A and B are shown apart, each in its own frame.
Chain A
Amino acid sequence: QKEVEQNSGPLSVPEGAIASLNCTYSDRGSQSFFWYRQYSGKSPELIMFIYSNGDKEDGRFTAQLNKASQYVSLLIRDSQPSDSATYLCAVEISGGYQKVTFGTGTKLQVIP
């Protein structure tokens, strides 16, 4: 069973602070990693994806990948109340024909 683990939270940060969300995975063969944001009652929307070790930045978001340690993280700088949502980590299933496994998500609360 390929697993993706996230702390369910809630993670509370003050407005303007950096939010750090973490994810670990068990499938050593995984090559593709995705972060989705899901507002309550809505479907997930893609925030970032990362394939190579290191950091990838897009605006206020930075994804970090360490394949040796099997973790991927998402940093949100200058957090805004509108960032309050559940963040889902998704990891490609190696040999899974584009299928991914989702973590249970981390609920982020940005306090104004």
Chain B
Amino acid sequence: GAVVSQHPSRVICKSGTSVKIECRSLDFQATTMFWYRQFPKQSLMLMATSNEGSKATYEQGVEKDKFLINHASLTLSTLTVTSAHPEDSSFYICSVVGGGNQPQHFGDGTRLSIL
């Protein structure tokens, strides 16, 4: 069964809109979740590490004020793309990891299209 639930699966909205994406860990408590972005025909690029109860850690070049991450509980992390523009259109995927050197399990992804 699914380990991670990500919602919504697809969003189409106008430029300037803010979009919130939810990622839920279903099988275990996740102190750490990851947010990735994938452009067409490219690999996954890590955007940020979401840490329960503390601030997210962003990768170099990712604007923390544009991509707001909240990890308020051990099973839920949210990514909000603020004032989205067409260049933010991409496939956003979250992952959860159980701990130690365990593999990451991915949500189904959210395809974001900004008109």
Residues of chain A whose beta carbon lies under 8 Å from any beta carbon of chain B: 31-32, 34, 36, 41-46, 49, 51, 88, 90, 92, 97-100, 102-105
Instruction: Report Cα–Cα, A45/B105, bound state, in Å.
Output: 7
From residue B8, how far is it (CB to closest CB) to chain A in Å? 14
> SS class of chain A's interface: helix, strand, loop or mixed?
loop
Known contacts being A97-B49, A99-B34, A105-B43, is A43 close to B106, with CB within 8 Å?
yes
B-to-A contact residues, CB < 8 Å: 6, 32, 34, 42-44, 46, 49, 91, 93, 97, 99-109, 111
In this complex, the member of A92, A99, A104 whose beta carbon has the largest number of chain B beta carbons within 10 angstroms is A99
Residues on B with beta carbons closer than 8 Å to the beta carbon of A105? 43
| List of A residues within 8 angstroms of B103 by Cβ | 32, 34, 46, 49
Cβ-closest 7 pairs across A and B: A43-B109, A32-B101, A43-B106, A104-B43, A102-B43, A102-B44, A49-B103
B109 to chain A: which residues have CB within 8 Å? 42-43
Residues of the A chain whose Cβ atoms lie less than 8 Å from the Cβ of B107: 43
A43-B108, A97-B32, A104-B42 known; A92-B101 Cβ under 8 A: yes
Neighbouring B residues of A103 by C-beta, 8 Å: 43
Q: A49-B103, A92-B101, A97-B32 are known contacts. Are A43 and B43 too (CB-CB below 8 A)?
A: no
C-alpha spacing A88/B44, complex, angstroms:
9
Q: How far is the CB of B20 from chain A (nearest CB, A)?
A: 18
Nearest chain A residue, comparing its CB with the CB of B98: A98
Do A43 and B93 touch across chains, with their CB atoms under 8 A apart? yes
Complex: how many Å from CA A100 to CA B102? 11
Known: A45-B106, A46-B103. 20 other contacts (CB 8 A): A32-B103, A43-B6, A43-B91, A43-B107, A44-B44, A44-B93, A44-B106, A46-B104, A46-B105, A88-B44, A90-B104, A98-B99, A98-B100, A99-B34, A99-B49, A100-B104, A102-B43, A103-B43, A104-B42, A105-B43
